Amino acid sequence: MIKFKVILIFTVLSTITSCSETSGLFGGAGGKNDPFANISQSSLDHFSSSIGDTTLFKVNQSVIEPEYRTLLDAQAKWIEENSISSVTIEGHADEQGTREYNLALGARRATAVRNYLVSKGISESILSVVTYGKERPLRICSEESCWSKNRRAITVLKGSSS
């Protein structure tokens, strides 16, 4: 599923001239020579699908698990290399909590990602957070298989559709 998505986007990317320097699936390198005053939508999709925009959390936790450090390191690198000017971290919770608490929990998760990116050199001034609590589930079953995907923080670059 994911592989298919990546290939599809790669095909799209390679046909767009402004991204002609894109050097591969993980290559945001094109941005280096291009000042991203107007980052193209396809590059933003590339970020979410190839780098990955989602950090998942354990039940009622907002600690960045070790397995997501690599992802966030790659996010930081991509954000820096592509001179992204604005990044919003959206924090979410699963449905197994009360509304207000989940808003606060989503804010904790988003802030944990934000703080990690700051620790990797991303300027605080381009980072903002928003919590959705349990308002915007990605998966809709009422089982752990869905809840585990809903306990998330999404790194959204300006102009991204996600």
Partner 1 sequence: MMKIYRVLLAFIIMCMIMNAPAYSEEEVPEIDIEVTDGVIDPIPVAMPEFVIDNFSSSIVANEIASIIKNNLTQTSLFRFIPENAYISDVTSIDAPVRFADWRAINSDLLIAGSVSVIGDVITAKFRLWDVVGQSEIEGVQFAGPTGSLRRIAHKVSDLIYAGITGEGAYFDTRIAFIAERGAKNDRTKRLAIMDQDGANLTFLTDSNSIVLAPRFSPDAKKILYTSYETGRPRVYLRNLVNDRVRTFPDLPGMTFAPRFSPDGKSVILSITNKGNTDIYLVDLANNTQKRLTSNAAIDTAPSFSPNGKSIVFESDRGGSQQIYVMSSKGGQAERISFGEGRYGTPVWSPRGDMVAFTKMYKGNFHIGVMRLDGSQERLLTKAFIDEAPTWSPNGRVLMFFRETAGANGAPSLYTVEVTGRNLRKLELSSFASDPSWSPLLE
Q: Which residues bind partner 1 (CB under 8 A)?
A: 60, 62, 95-101, 103-105, 107-108, 110-112, 114-115, 129-132, 135-142
Q: What sign for the dihedral angle of Cα 17, 19, 21, 23? A: negative
Question: Judged by CB, which is closer to partner 1: 28, or 106?
Answer: 106
Least distance (Å) between residue 123 CB and partner 1: 16
Question: Judged by CB, which is closer to partner 1: 72, or 110?
Answer: 110
Q: What sign for the dihedral angle of Cα 33, 49, 86, 13? A: positive
Question: Judged by CB, which is closer to partner 1: 60, or 148?
Answer: 60
Length of the chain as a residue count: 162
Question: Judged by CB, which is closer to partner 1: 18, or 54?
Answer: 54
Number of C-beta neighbours around residue 45 at 10 A:
20
Least distance (Å) between residue 97 CB and partner 1: 7
How many angstroms separate the Cα of 144 from the Cα of each of 54, 60, 101, 109, 148? 17, 13, 19, 18, 6
Least distance (Å) between residue 33 CB and partner 1: 32
Number of C-beta neighbours around residue 124 at 10 A:
10
Least distance (Å) between residue 111 CB and partner 1: 3
